[in-house]
Amino acid sequence: MRSYSNPEAVLLDMDGTLVDSDGAVERAWAAWAVEYGVDPARALADAHGSPASITAARLRPDLDAAQVDTAAQRQLELQYEDLHDVVPTPGAERLLAELDRIGLPWAVVTSADDRLAKARLEAAGIRPPLLFTFEDVTKGKPDPEGYLLAAKALGVDPAACLVVEDSGPGLAAGRAAGAMTASLRGLDADVKLHDLGHLAELLVSDGR
């Protein structure tokens, strides 16, 4: 029987989970909020875990579809060039080394677009074997499409995958995909992690 310490594949979110980009994300949303007449504190509280288009529509429900697309693109532009202080999260390098050592398949599933995801992963020195971004799906998190695509690409039943996330929308996507879930930031999941090094310890303790 598979458990969170004995999955057949690990599917990792990027921002806040695998890559520490909190500073860049907060700077971009704060600047965007000023431009779009939104309380910066509200934007920062509402922005994490979902694609920019979903968040922009939620923060500015008065915008039509074309205006939402423009607002989302502006938000992404504020992030593309800001790679200052983008680094691996605590324990990330240890976890990835352990996954490689035991030959456990893994992939990154992010709400960022291709350009931003690749830029941040490169800045953090992380090269995932598979990367699924917002451009690969028709619906972003909390929809499970990204995680279902990743599981299919790896040839693993979603129920045997462990989704690792640090946001409510991401964990909802993992649960909707039927996967086991692991959380950071104290969120509710099948297992709560202190950091990604904690997950590495769980995999080792399973006797791999």
Q: Is 15 a catalytic residue?
A: yes
Question: Which of 15, 20, 82, 113 does the annotation list as catalytic?
Answer: 15
Query: Is residue 1 exposed (0-12), middle (13-18) or buried (19+ Cβ within 10 Å)?
Result: exposed
Report residue 111: phi and psi, to 5°: -85, -5
Question: Which of 13, 113, 143, 166 does the annotation list as catalytic?
Answer: 13
In Å, what is the CA distance from 108 to each residue of 72, 147, 207? 22, 9, 25
Q: Which one, of 19, 53, 34, 26, lies nearest residue 138 by Cα?
A: 53
Q: Is 190 a catalytic residue?
A: no
Residues carrying an active site annotation? 13, 15
